[in-house]
Amino acid sequence: MLRIRKATQLDAKACWDIRNAAINKGCAGFYDADDLIIWTEGELTEQFSRIVDAHFYVAEQSNNKPPLKRVIGMVMLDEPYAQVEALFVSPDAMGLGVGKSLLQFIETKAFNLGIAQLRLESTLNAVGFYRHCGFGGEGLEEDSIYCSPRGIALECMVMYKNLAC
């Protein structure tokens, strides 16, 4: 069973690990291996933990044998910029609908906040996923460069989705 809930600081380590594993698995072959190392190196920071606590939502999987809950994905809505951020799914849960559930959750949250259009910067490997979820389309995509705070520049696709009225 999948449940999406507000993240807490206690989820920061799981979110950090999922982020890095998802980048290493999903982005391999789309970006230079040295860039992936730079993008994912380092330890969990207090700043990342604070952001998780303040802004993230996590997908938590429950298993009844034995009773176990584990975080398998996360997402963030940057409300002032109407932007989806940090949508990552654990590699062992990729392709099972977790990312789609997280995205639908954030779309509903954004719509309820009065946001009419969402923006995101997709890594090249995830463009197809976002298109399948309704992002992009005629005039709603543009090539861009993501400049990481770690000093690397990665090609990405800026995509938009108009939310239903």
User: 16 lies in which domain range?
Assistant: 2-115
Both tokens assigned to 8: 């807490």
Residue 89 is given by DSSP the state E
Which of 51, 95, 97 shows the shortest CA–CA distance to 77? 51
Residue 29 is given by DSSP the state T
Q: Is residue 146, in this structure, part of any structural domain at all?
A: no
Mean pLDDT comparison of 67-71, 102-106, 142-146, 154-158, highest-scoring range: 102-106
Q: Is residue 163, in this structure, part of any structural domain at all?
A: no
Q: Is residue 50, in this structure, part of any structural domain at all?
A: yes
Q: Is residue 35, in this structure, part of any structural domain at all?
A: yes
Mean pLDDT comparison of 120-124, 136-140, 161-165, highest-scoring range: 120-124
Q: Is residue 86, in this structure, part of any structural domain at all?
A: yes
Q: Is residue 36, in this structure, part of any structural domain at all?
A: yes
* CATH number of the CATH domain containing 18: 3.40.630.30
Report the chain's mean pLDDT, rounded to a whole number.
92
Q: Is-contact 140 121, C-beta < 8 A?
A: no
Output the CA–CA distances (angstroms, integers) from residue 35 to 18, 28, 85, 139, 144, in the order listed. Answer: 18, 10, 20, 30, 17
Task: Give residue-wise pLDDT tens across range 11-51.
Answer: 999 999 999 999 999 999 999 999 999 999 989 999 999 99
Q: Give the residue-averaged pLDDT of 108-116.
A: 96
pLDDT tops 60 at residue 142: yes
pLDDT reported for residue 16: 97
Q: Is residue 150, in this structure, part of any structural domain at all?
A: no
Q: Strands across the sheet with 67-78, in order?
A: 2-6, 56-64, 67-78, 83-89, 117-123, 153-162, 141-147
Percent of the chain with pLDDT over 70: 93
Q: Is residue 149, in this structure, part of any structural domain at all?
A: no
Residue 140 pLDDT grade (very low, low, confident, very high; cuts 50, 70, 90): low
For the chain, the domain total comes to 1
